[in-house]
Amino acid sequence: MSKLFQYIGAYMTKWLAIATLMGMGGGLSAVALNLSIQYVTERSYFLPLWIAPMIGGLLVSILYLWDRRPAGFGTDKYIDAVNNRKSLSFKVFLTKLAATAITIGLRGSGGVEGPMLVMGGSLADGISKIRKARIYLTEEDQRILTICGAAGAIGAIFRSPVGGGIFVVEILYRSSLHYGDLFPAMLSSTMGFVIYSMLANANPLFTIPDYLPNVLNVPSFVLAGIVAGIASIVFMTVFRHTQEFFKKIPYYKLHPMMGGVATGFILLFLPDVAGTGTSVIQEMIYKVFPIGILVLLVIGKILATSFTVASGGSGGLVIPALFIGAASGNVMAALVANGDSGLYASLVITGMAASLASIANVPIAAAIMLVEMVGLRLGVPATLGSIIGYAIGHSQVIYGVTSPDHWQFKEMIAWRKNDINKKGH
């Protein structure tokens, strides 16, 4: 018994210290990315909206002459690094930061979760380069370090201390959660949020009107989840086809610029789909848009994100997923809300949770992250949306498709499960 307590004490002391350190690094990474995007955005307002993405694509193409690894959403690189016990080079931290700031700051359509996974995960490589630290870290510890760094960054950037930790673990294995990964990740995610709160705005990502869901509205929530799930499948299909399209075009180093030209064309007609689109999501929470406008916004966001990210621009897919889900929920609000602002918000949150769960295959993280983004009062629609979205989209795969080990993706997960069973976790 005494040996058991010694083991538990040593384990907790070790990972409390490491997870705290990695979480702090992840939180600082989130602050750095937000400030960088803001800096580029503020200094490019003089550019016409439709030209900015093309210039961003050109600058990113030049950056890729030095380091090609930051291209795309980055989530594949994180999954590959953790499951195949590889290292995300610390050099990628700087290049991914620069590529993402340029891509999104110059109005390319994308999110921040992929860049945060890579940037946070690359901190593990920085720790491993410290000679004294390397002595105490096993190969398995290095893998968990990558998860902890990513968790700290995700928990901070989305102001989601619990959901961020779950997200970075749930996204690794499509049908299981490994507690040995989860507990350090949640510690890091929480610490990342604390650091971010000390240096930046710690308010929830979105605000909602005062409202308590009514059981009579549950059928509307279900319908909103279904609409958002279907829209998410369309998004994944278009994104995959866009990836394949760019693979067939020569001069791959110029692909981001080509994608920027196509994105700029979309912005000529639909400027609201530029950047992350969080301000538009906030508008959808509080008011109903005309259905025709919502359909155009969904189509525009799908195309703009596909052109920006599938061409090699640096941006994530989570916030575009939230945008598509918000618009889908707003469609239902236009049909059934009858002026009830609280119901508007509930339906939009349902759609957001459904899209996130569908596109990322993270039903637990989707529900918790949405609750943390908007508040506990909308836990019911967030949970329903995540379940429905996952049920609709779980057979689809968007993460892992471009990984070098894509064809071994299922085998990789099976290997990891066997490794876990051998160690008795």
| Mean pLDDT, 10 residues at a time, the chain of 425 residues | 55 77 94 96 94 96 90 91 85 94 97 95 82 70 91 96 95 78 92 94 87 85 97 96 92 90 97 96 95 97 97 95 97 89 92 96 95 89 96 84 40 45 46
Do 85 and 130 belong to one domain?
A: yes
Do 186 and 220 belong to one domain?
A: no
Q: Tell how far CA 127 is from the center of its chain.
A: 24
pLDDT for the residue numbered 423? 44
Q: Supply the range of the domain harboring residue 314.
A: 215-393
pLDDT for the residue numbered 221? 95
Is residue 424 a part of any domain in this protein? Answer: no
Do 312 and 359 belong to one domain?
A: yes
With a CB cutoff of 8 Å and minimum separation 6, the contacts of 296 are: 270
pLDDT for the residue numbered 164? 96
Is residue 134 a part of any domain in this protein? Answer: yes
User: Using a CB cutoff of 8 Å and minimum separation of 24, what contacts does 83-86 make?
Assistant: 83/172, 83/412, 83/413, 83/416, 84/405, 84/412, 85/139, 85/142, 85/143
Give the DSSP per-residue string, 71-106. -S-SHHHHHHHHHTT----HHHHHHHHHHHHHHHHT
pLDDT for the residue numbered 209? 87
Examine the fold and report which residue of 138, 168, 199 is the final residue of a domain before the chain moves on: 199
Do 158 and 224 belong to one domain?
A: no
Amino acid type, 356: L
Is residue 208 a part of any domain in this protein? Answer: no
> What's the CA gap between 374 and 392, in Å, rounded?
24
pLDDT for the residue numbered 4? 52
Is residue 416 a part of any domain in this protein? Answer: no
Is residue 351 a part of any domain in this protein? Answer: yes
Do 156 and 238 belong to one domain?
A: no
Strand partners, 111: 316
With a CB cutoff of 8 Å and minimum separation 6, the contacts of 354 are: 224, 225, 226, 228, 229, 232, 325, 328, 366, 385, 386, 388, 389, 392
**Number of domain units in the chain:** 2
Do 54 and 171 belong to one domain?
A: yes
Examine the fold and report which residue of 156, 174, 199 is the final residue of a domain before the chain moves on: 199
pLDDT for the residue numbered 1? 58
pLDDT for the residue numbered 356? 96
Do 37 and 161 belong to one domain?
A: yes
pLDDT for the residue numbered 252? 79
Is residue 409 a part of any domain in this protein? Answer: no
Do 182 and 49 belong to one domain?
A: yes
Do 125 and 237 belong to one domain?
A: no
Domain harbouring 275, CATH code: 1.10.3080.10
Is residue 419 a part of any domain in this protein? Answer: no
Query: pTM for this structure?
Result: 0.90
Do 275 and 370 belong to one domain?
A: yes
Do 148 and 220 belong to one domain?
A: no
Is residue 357 a part of any domain in this protein? Answer: yes
Q: 111 by DSSP, 3-state: which?
A: strand
Do 231 and 323 belong to one domain?
A: yes
pLDDT for the residue numbered 235? 97
